[in-house]
Amino acid sequence: MKKVEAIIRKSKFSGVKKALHEVGVNFFSYWDVTGLGNEKEGHVYRGVSYSTSDIQRRYLSIVVNDDFEEATIKAILTAASTGEVGDGKIFVSQVDEVYRIRTGEKGGNTLK
Amino acid sequence: MELLTINNVWMMICTALVFFMHTGFAFLEIGLTRQKNTINILFKNIFIITVGLLLYYIVGFNLMYPGEGFNGFLGSIVPGIAPPENGMTAEYADGGYTWWTDFLFQGMFAATAATIVSGAVAERMKIGAFMIFTVVYVGFVYPIAGSWQWGGGFLSSLSIGDAEGFYDFAGSTLVHSVGGWAALVAVYLLGSRIGKFNNGKAQAIPGHSIPLATAGVLILWLGWFGFNGGSVLSANPEATSLTLVTTCLAAAAGGVIAMITSTILYKNLDLTMFLNGILGGLVGITAGADQMSPEDAILIGAVAGALIVFAVSLVDKIKLDDPVGAIAVHLICGIWGTLAVGLFGAKAGFDQFLVQLIGILCYGAFCVATSFIIIYTLKKTMGIRVSEREELEGLDAHEHKMDAYPDFRLNEH
């Protein structure tokens, strides 16, 4: 099993969600994050310009069976891209075990 | 209905509108500052209106309106208030209002001067020091300054050539500059907030609720219907209507010109400058709201709107930290509005301009001197500035041990 984590633009979230559903990924968690990166956002407040490196993004955490890994990554790469700096990152890592709390069963079946 | 009743009802409505301005000030101040200091600012605003009103009862009203036998400079301290024999009849104040209304209307004005200071010193001044300052400034300095003009003092009878007395209809100088001068002194003695100037360059410290600031400005504009409208001191149809027209046109022109000026200079549509421009226009028209034609009012407001944008940047340049723009709005536009009485409208003329200038200088000298003495004394005794840690973590957490928004995350800056 794999954990696919993605940091994406908030504006791309609904597109990514739809693309994930289309490849059969229906369960995942997400939350809003603030981070630092290459992108600088220019602001002006009362005549003083300032740039904030605090970048607002949405963080997705998706655990999938190995045969879903490629489709999941492809869905995010396509749906989250604008081609500009700041589109985000995808991290993939190995997951040792998964349990379903309600029944106590474990393994890949719990992700279906 | 008899005329006194009609007049009095209008004046009581205006009294209520001026009272409501404190909501506007509170919203504007908390909107343009950070959420970690919200309780502190609200606390100051509530302190000012409650204690200010009591002080006006205890000493202020008699000090400001000494009546017969006034030497023109300093009234006497007569505790409490008691209406004169004819205070509730049409003989009093030409039948414009009753004596009770007179007290309350003027009392609502009194607290405004300290509220102006509150915004300028926000986010870093010790609340105890601010309270003491407020008591002395609202209790004594404001009424003494007010007595020079509205109490029949020396400025009201200062005649040069054609000009018969200083003129300040509703308080561009008497209220707004009196607060503005103290704000200037306080900001100078207090120093800037941590992080406002980095390597000598002004930094932006954005306020935490622009919607609240916007509501504050619109409430203040509404309050100004009473501030200027009530300063007619009766419900005189022609004078009150004209005053409301000039007041609103100046506010609108101030906002629009500030918006255009700041957009040209800074290439962004800055709502806070738009809002400050409205206030600048309002403060600017206040000295001569009953003397101006609509065209004059638009010009006065427009100049005030442009002034605001340059004044905000000037205050930054001379390394003064005024989070809400109180100095630009109340002091700079207060001075402009007072001078405008000599340039536009029914009283325009060189002699009047000169008298206006003398008045401004008298108030400037008195307010700078008194506020410097009060705040400098506080600085050398109890201290006026919170510790670095308190400032970084927020005055709410340390001075009040409260959160304004307990369910929301606190930004660390």
Closest CA to B52 of B74, B87, B25, B83: B25
Is B408 an interface residue toward A (CB < 8 Å)? Answer: no
Is B411 an interface residue toward A (CB < 8 Å)? Answer: no
Give the Cα-Cα-Cα angle B295, B300, B305 (nearest 5 degrees). 125
Is A47 an interface residue toward B (CB < 8 Å)? Answer: yes
> pLDDT tens digits, residue range B28-45?
999 999 999 999 999 999
The pLDDT value given to residue B1:
59
From CA A45, how far away is CA A53, in angstroms rounded? 16
- Number of domains observed in the structure of chain B: 1
Please name the member of B309, B316, B325 whose beta carbon is closest to the beta carbon of A48.
B316
Q: Contact B266/A44, CB-based, under 8 Å?
A: yes
> pLDDT tens digits, residue range B156-171?
988 888 888 999 999 9
> pLDDT tens digits, residue range B108-156?
999 888 899 999 999 999 999 999 999 999 999 999 999 999 998 999 9
Quickly tell me which residue has 């928004």 as its tokens.
B405
The pLDDT value given to residue B49:
95
- In which domain, by residue range, is B61 found? 3-400
In a domain, B408, yes or no: no
Query: Which residues of chain B make contact with A44, given a CB cutoff of 8 A?
Result: 204, 266-268, 270
Q: Can you give the CATH number for the domain in which A9 is found?
A: 3.30.70.120
From CA A4, how far away is CA A2, in angstroms rounded? 6
Q: Contact B270/A50, CB-based, under 8 Å?
A: no
From CA B52, how far away is CA B49, in angstroms rounded? 5
- Among A38-42, A56-60, B90-94, the range with the most confident prediction by mean pLDDT is A56-60
In a domain, B412, yes or no: no
Q: Can you give the CATH number for the domain in which B244 is found?
A: 1.10.3430.10
Collapse the DSSP code of A101 into the 3-class scheme (helix H, G, I; strand E, B; otherwise coil) and give the result.
coil
Query: For residue B411, is pLDDT > 60?
Result: no
Average pLDDT, chain B: 93
Q: Contact A46/B265, CB-based, under 8 Å?
A: no
Is A54 an interface residue toward B (CB < 8 Å)? Answer: no
- In which domain, by residue range, is A24 found? 2-111
In a domain, B389, yes or no: yes
From CA A22, how far away is CA A17, in angstroms rounded? 9
- Number of domains observed in the structure of chain A: 1
Closest CA to B172 of B23, B14, B50, B292: B292
Q: Contact A46/B267, CB-based, under 8 Å?
A: no
* DSSP state string for B201-226: EE-----S-HHHHHHHHHHHHHHHHH
* DSSP state string for B136-187: HIIIIIHHHHHHTTTTS-TTTT-EETTEES---SS-IIIIIIHHHHHHHHHH
Q: Contact A48/B272, CB-based, under 8 Å?
A: no
Question: Could you say which residues from 224 to 263 on chain B have a Cβ atom under 8 Å away from some Cβ of chain A?
Answer: 262
